[in-house]
Amino acid sequence: MTGSKTLFEKIWDAHAIRVSENGESLLYVDRHFIHDGTSQAFEKLELAGHGVRSPHKTFGTADHYVPTRNGLDGLTDPARRAMVLRLEEDAKRYDIRCFGFGHQHQGIVHVIGPELGLTLPGFLLVCGDSHTSTHGALGAFAFGVGASEVAHVLATQTIWQARPKTMRITLDGHAGVGVTAKDMILHIIGTIGAGGATGHVIEYAGSGIEALSMEGRLTLCNMSIEAGARAGLIAPDDKTAAYLKGKPFAPSGADWDHAVAHWQTLASDGDAAFDREVRIETDNISPTVTWGTSPEDAVPVTAAVPDPQGEPDAERRARMIRALDYMNLKPGTPMEAIAVDRVFIGSCTNSRIEDLRAAAEILKGRKTRIPAMVVPGSMIVKAAAEAEGLDRIFAKAGVEWRDPGCSMCVAMNGVDVVGPGERCASTSNRNFAGRQGRAARTHLMSPAMAAAAAVAGRIVDPRKPLPGGA
Amino acid sequence: MKPVRKIHGLAVGLEMANVDTDQIVPARYLYRNRSEGFADTLFHDMRSDPQGCERDSFPLNAPEAEQATILVTLDNFGCGSSREHAVWALVDAGFQAVIAVSFGDIFRNNAHENGLLPVVLEEHEVMHLLQHVKSGPAKLTVDLETQRVRLPDGTCFSFDIDSAARENLLLGRSKIDATHSLMSTIDAFEEAYLGRHPWSE
Ligand code: SF4
């Protein structure tokens, strides 16, 4: 049937204002998020002499530079403190709603958008941050942009884009015990590569996706960018609507019914064609962890550090050797034999309530051997976790319970930093050299695996029984 | 923004794939104002060791590399975070073009907005260029008008570029001004769109 469209194409077409002679489309932006790393975009806007066209469509939150303990005093460096305050000043000047430091809605931008109902299915949503792909879990076309484009969106509520290609990744089957959305996405990136989806928008489909909770879907879409994708998308379904109902900024009354009816039309048509199709058997996915400095360096936790000598491609072999050197690992070492120095549970990938519950389940009644911290994704997540008593489980286990922010995912607040040469078991999304601090070594994994690592002092298969527990 | 036409200069090679934006500018420098400049942060942690000593093995540390205006590298250059600082650091350090097998999407868009020309060539062509700069920075010409990269021996590789990006680069025009002239079209679209999607208001 002609006229069949994918979810992505439906959203794209609904937002296309015009197509230029050279094939770029001018797209309408429903929602725009800013954070405490947006000051240079405001500088640019001022330089160009423009104002903010639709301030009520932009929302701000402080996340990248915020301290995660001792209030604002926890941020000792004046330049970083200035970034947190700059956001509030810029927002105030342009009449933009802002959840600044200490606000009850403050949190990591990709955690608060969905949980406040600011992210809605069918929306075109942008933010000056690459992990904007997260919001695609609700069926929004959401992508990260640079500072110049942020200024463009502020000034015009639109953005120019060349139409990306489409790619469907179908995950059928059942996830085994101990296999989370994080394991799925690490497995996918390990399979298609860190540049495997460049120029594409990924739609995740199949029974393995339908079975995921909203939190799991957010984790999955979050790391689409680690496969190079422009965005990740999941068709909205009943779970999506149930998740959004009653959220502070979600539509209500007649608007709600109208919106839900529209969302039901968004799923890809049965015979819609994708530029690329990838199939993954969910049953074959194991708890997965990274060994190197690219998210594609992902292996089952039961595997060993790979040997570059077995890699036929010379360039890839050279990269593996460099990564092993940086990570101070020897080929053939079982992943489970790798001792870690600290554990970070948090980031826009894995700091939602479900993630914290998974970590708490492992930590309950046990003690950690190494420094570990849990940084909730938002004030709302923090309050929910405390209401359930998760904070007390963490405290008893010897894990630090912090205030929301990006924290050790990116080490930008200058205090939540992995030390040089230290090895961190982390639930974040990037294991790039220096990401968590200069010369820091990162192993990406799920919250359950990170919690188990905190107890064992090394990387362990979270399916295996740990000593102790309650 | 300075228009980009023909870049005739010294090229330096960085024979690595997946050079992410954290490598191009470490996150700890991102808070600076644009006017403070980012040249000194470019490839900071690859360039020097934790004690601050420059690594001789890093190609950009060669004395002649200071004059380089063209960077030649492998796949997926600029992947990772959306930080435009990665482009600013390259521009502030004097680079006008980056030639790679592929780029991170956001990096490429950011480059277009700052007069930095991202050139995509086939892998064997990039390998040829890397060979050319192997023993140190060497001359190269990148011509946006003819969409060609030329070596001094006459070898030529042609490249494709998104035509909108090409036009803006040639004119040195940023998108924001062009879009502003379309405001009435945007207003009309918005009114109709919000009529159909009132919950977006
Ligand atoms: S948590 Fe990490 S990846 Fe997510 S927005 Fe913050 S810095 Fe970026």
pLDDT band at A1 (very low <50, low <70, confident <90, very high): very low
CA–centroid distance, A348 to ligand 1, in Å, is 6
The sign of the dihedral angle between the CA atoms of B45, B47, B49, B50 is: negative
**What is the H or E stretch that residue A55 is in?**
none
What ranges do the domains of chain A cover?
Answer: 7-276, 289-456
Distance of CA B186 to the CA centre of its chain: 30
> Among 2.70.240.10, 3.40.50.720, 3.40.630.30, 3.30.499.10, what is the CATH number of A7-276?
3.30.499.10
pLDDT in tens, A158-176: 999 999 999 999 999 999 9
More confident residue, A145 or B50: A145
Q: State the Cα–Cα distance between residues A470 and A467, nearest whole angstrom.
A: 10
pLDDT in tens, B42-93: 999 999 998 889 999 999 999 999 999 999 999 999 999 999 999 999 999 9
b/e for A389-405, b at 16 or more Cβ within 10 A?
ebbebbeebbbebbbbb
Q: State the Cα–Cα distance between residues A117 and B15, nearest whole angstrom.
A: 45
On whether the CB atoms of residues A335 and A289 are closer than 8 A, the answer is yes
ipTM: 0.94
**For residue A266, what is the DSSP state?**
-
Instruction: Output the DSSP codes for B61-119.
Output: GSGGGGG--EEEE-TTBTBS---THHHHHHHHTT--EEEES-B-HHHHHHHHTTT-EEE
**C-beta atoms of A148 and B113 within 8 A:** yes
**Where do we find the tokens 């228009």?**
B3
Residues 404-433 of A with CB under 8 A from B: 410-412, 414, 420, 430, 432-433
**What is the H or E stretch that residue B126 is in?**
helix B123-132
Q: Which residues contact A3 (CB under 8 A, 6 or more apart)?
A: none
pLDDT of A242 strictly over 80: yes
Q: State the Cα–Cα distance between residues A259 and A254, nearest whole angstrom.
A: 8
Average of pLDDT values for A39-44? Answer: 94
Ligand 1, residue A410: give the atom nearest the CA: 7
pLDDT band at A468 (very low <50, low <70, confident <90, very high): confident
Q: State the Cα–Cα distance between residues A358 and A366, nearest whole angstrom.
A: 14
Asked if A7-276 and A289-456 have one fold, the answer is yes
Beta-sheet strands, E only, within A221-374:
231-233, 276-281, 288-290, 298-300, 342-345, 372-374
On whether the CB atoms of residues A375 and A68 are closer than 8 A, the answer is yes
What's the mean pLDDT when you consider all of chain A?
96
Among A197, A193, A450, A424, which Cα is nearest to A297's?
A193
pLDDT in tens, B3-53: 999 999 999 999 999 999 999 999 999 999 899 999 999 999 999 998 889
Distance of CA B171 to the CA centre of its chain: 17
pLDDT of A400 strictly over 50: yes
What per-residue confidence (pLDDT) applies to A102? 94
Which of A15, A82, A146 shows the shortest C-beta gap to B109?
Answer: A146
Residues of B in contact with A435 (CB under 8 A): 22, 27
**C-beta atoms of A146 and B87 within 8 A:** yes
What per-residue confidence (pLDDT) applies to B88? 97
**C-beta atoms of A18 and B84 within 8 A:** no
Distance of CA A449 to the CA centre of its chain: 17
Average of pLDDT values for B120-144? Answer: 97
**Percent of chain A surpassing pLDDT 70:** 99
The nearest CA of chain B is from the CA of A24 a distance in Å of 7
On whether the CB atoms of residues B11 and B140 are closer than 8 A, the answer is yes
pLDDT in tens, A254-302: 999 999 999 999 999 999 999 999 999 999 999 999 999 999 999 999 9
pLDDT of A21 strictly over 70: yes
**Percent of chain A surpassing pLDDT 90:** 95
pLDDT of A116 strictly over 80: yes
Q: State the Cα–Cα distance between residues A309 and A114, nearest whole angstrom.
A: 45
Q: Does the domain formed by A289-456 have CATH 3.40.50.11740?
A: no
What per-residue confidence (pLDDT) applies to B180? 85
Q: State the Cα–Cα distance between residues A214 and B9, nearest whole angstrom.
A: 52
What per-residue confidence (pLDDT) applies to A230? 97
Tokens of A383: 């309050």
Q: Which residues line ligand 1 (CB under 6 A)?
A: A 63-64, 108, 110, 129, 131, 347-348, 406, 409-410, 428-429
* CA quadruple A342, A348, A352, A358: dihedral, nearest 10: -40
**C-beta atoms of A130 and B163 within 8 A:** no
A321-324 contacts: CB < 8 A, separation 24 or more? A322/A293, A322/B16, A323/A291, A323/A292, A323/A293, A323/A294, A323/A297, A324/A291, A324/A292
What per-residue confidence (pLDDT) applies to B177? 79
What's the mean pLDDT when you consider all of chain B?
95
Instruction: Output the DSSP codes for B104-117.
Output: -HHHHHHHHTTT-E
Among A283, A34, A316, which Cα is nearest to A174's?
A283
Q: Which residues contact A210 (CB under 8 A, 6 or more apart)?
A: A237
Three-point CA angle A70, A34, A383, nearest 5°: 40
Q: Is the Cβ of A67 closer than 8 Å to some Cβ of chain B?
A: no
**Where do we find the tokens 């489980």?**
A393
What per-residue confidence (pLDDT) applies to A2? 59
On whether the CB atoms of residues B176 and A156 are closer than 8 A, the answer is yes
Tokens of A118: 């600011």
Tokens of B108: 């490429």
Ligand 1, residue A409: give the atom nearest the CA: 2
pLDDT of A247 strictly over 50: yes
Chosen for mutation from A148, A189, A326 (greatest number of chain B CBs closer than 10 Å) is: A148
Class in CATH terms, B6-200: alpha beta
Binning chain A into helix, strand and coil, the percentages to the nearest 5 are 40, 20, 45
What per-residue confidence (pLDDT) applies to A418? 98
Q: Which residues contact A253 (CB under 8 A, 6 or more apart)?
A: none
b/e for A150-177, b at 16 or more Cβ within 10 A?
bbbbbbbbbbbbbbbebbbbbbeeebee
Q: Which residues contact A316 (CB under 8 A, 6 or more apart)?
A: B17
